[in-house]
Structure 1
């Protein structure tokens, strides 16, 4: 039982980071109906921004986290203006957006390799490495921190989406951007907001992930898991993205503990295929009217 509880905690911890990444996909998909594969590059840059904020600036962890979130949010907004806005103005097909996103992701990765270098970098030790112990169960402080910060960030996002005028406009645009525009909603401003929100969450996720593991130019590959989680839960549904991410984190950790670590990705992808065959919209897939 103690092994199960230990793996349950580990799964929720990594699943919460997947959730921060996955909601960025879902936000963009809910409005623009394409998968933003450049999101991984934003997460990677967020990890580097947090790292250098701690190394170069005399600031606390919270200050570096805010800098990483704001920096990644700004990068996401610039990316939208450069890579996607010209395509939107020409009413380009969704395939063009996906190709542009993949190109932007490769560009950001190679830009970091050319300027910072391909070597792995580690965050300085910020917190006491001694874990919390509850009987035979030990929980690292970074795992607790990851879960708490992810929960707070997602709660703030839900509040914005459900309780503010901007959130109402986002939900309206997810139903019909053209109809919302006719009703007086500034769609360009809403797109700016969703890229900013998604980028800020990506920055938080990148810094937390880098603190737990390491930072390197290919760190954005981890967003393949968050994309799977978003599809698993229901692409375009924010609650689905969170639920799918937590389930994916649990599936991975439990598979590693009880079967073998080399099979965890195989099991996760197999379950994804099964879910999509049975329910193509995902576990919590929404109809178009309810995507946000």
Structure 2
């Protein structure tokens, strides 16, 4: 029984970070109806910002955490203005957005490789003790606990903003009908600016947490493949669905790794994606839309 509970703890930890990544996909998809595959590049930059703040600037951990979130948020907003806004103004097909997102992701990855940073794997300095917190026979890693707490607080704050604030009402109205919300006086450009900023901030938090847990390298953004699967599983466009899908994916992965083999972890994840697309394309909590990408 203790072994099962240990896997649950591990699954909640990694699933919470998947959720931080997945809500970025869902936020953009809910408004613009396309999957922002450049999200992984933003996560990668966030991980590097945190790393260099700690190693070169020697700032306190929470300052580095804040700078990582701000830097990623600014990057996400800049990408929207440079890459996506011109396409929106020309009413370009959604396929163009996807191609542009893939190009932006490849650009970010390769510009880091070509820079003095290079392709080298980098490890975060030891910030917390590696001695786990023991609850009976269950070991709680300090970084795992930090990942879960920060992810939970961040996601709770995001859901509060979306559900209880005026800007959240504008976001929900725009996600329902862009033209209708524009006629009602909603500034759609500002709403899109805000969702990219929020998605970028969460991506920076996720990037730094994931980098602390493992290592930092230019291809670290590939982990967003898992968060995309989680977003599809929960239902693209649904924040609650993205969170639930992420937690379930994290639990499934850890259970497969713990009771079978880690070699089957990715196999199960992609098999799950195929099953959801075939059986229920809208996911657990997604809504039907005319276009999906």
Q: TM-score, normalised by structure 2?
A: 0.97
2:121 is paired with a residue whose SS is: coil
Return the alpha-carbon distance in structure 2 between the equivalents of residues 82 and 220 of structure 1. 20
Paired with 1:34 and 1:272, the residues of 2 have a C-alpha distance of 17
Cα shift readout 1:204-244 (whole Å, capped 9, x = no counterpart): 00000000000000000000000000000001100000000
Shift of 1:5: 0.8
Alignment check: 8 A CA contact 2:226 2:269 kept: no
* Equivalent-residue separation in structure 2 for 1:183 and 1:241 (angstroms): 29
Q: Who is 1:227 aligned against?
A: 228
Aligned to 2:28: 28
User: What is the number of equivalent residue pairs in this alignment?
Assistant: 289
Q: In the alignment, what sits opposite 2:19?
A: 19
Matches within 5 A, 1:74-223: 74-115=74-115, 116-223=117-224
Q: Secondary structure at the match of 2:139?
A: strand
Partner of 1:259: 260
Q: CA deviation at 1:259?
A: 1.3
Give the whole-Å Cα distance in 1 for the aligned partners of 2:279 and 2:41: 32
Aligned-residue offset at 1:136 = 1.9
Alignment partners' CA distance in 2, 1:141 and 1:2: 19
Report if the CA contact (8 A) 2:73-2:200 is conserved.
yes
SS in 1 for 2:134: strand
Q: For the residues of structure 2 that align with 1:58 and 1:268, how far apart are their CA atoms? A: 38
- Report the RMSD for the aligned CA atoms in angstroms: 1.1
Q: Please give the alpha-carbon distance, in whole angstroms, between the structure 2 residues aligned to 1:58 and 1:95.
A: 43
2:238 and 2:285 in contact (8 A); partners too? yes
CA deviation string 1:127-163 (max 9, x = no partner): 1111101222211100000000000000110111011
Asked whether the 8 Å contact 2:26–2:236 carries over to 1, the reply is: yes
Q: Per the alignment, in what secondary structure is the counterpart of residue 34 of structure 2?
A: coil
Q: TM-score, normalised by structure 1?
A: 0.97
Q: Does 1:5 align with 2:5?
A: yes
Supply the distance in 1 between the matched residues of 2:206 and 2:269 (Cα, whole angstroms): 21
- Output the CA distance in 2 between the equivalents of 1:254 and 1:57: 39
- Give the distance between the partners of 1:34 and 1:159, measured in 2 at CA: 24
Unpaired segments of 5 or more residues in structure 1? none
**Residue in 2 that maps onto 1:47:** 47
Report the CA distance between 1:287 and its aligned residue: 4.4
- Alpha-carbon separation, structure 2, partners of 1:107 and 1:18: 23
Following TM superposition, the consecutive aligned residue runs of length 4 or more in structure 1 with deviations greater than 4 angstroms are none
Q: Per-residue deviation at 1:193?
A: 0.1
Tell me the CA shift for residue 190 of structure 1.
0.4
Report how far residue 172 of structure 1 moved.
0.4
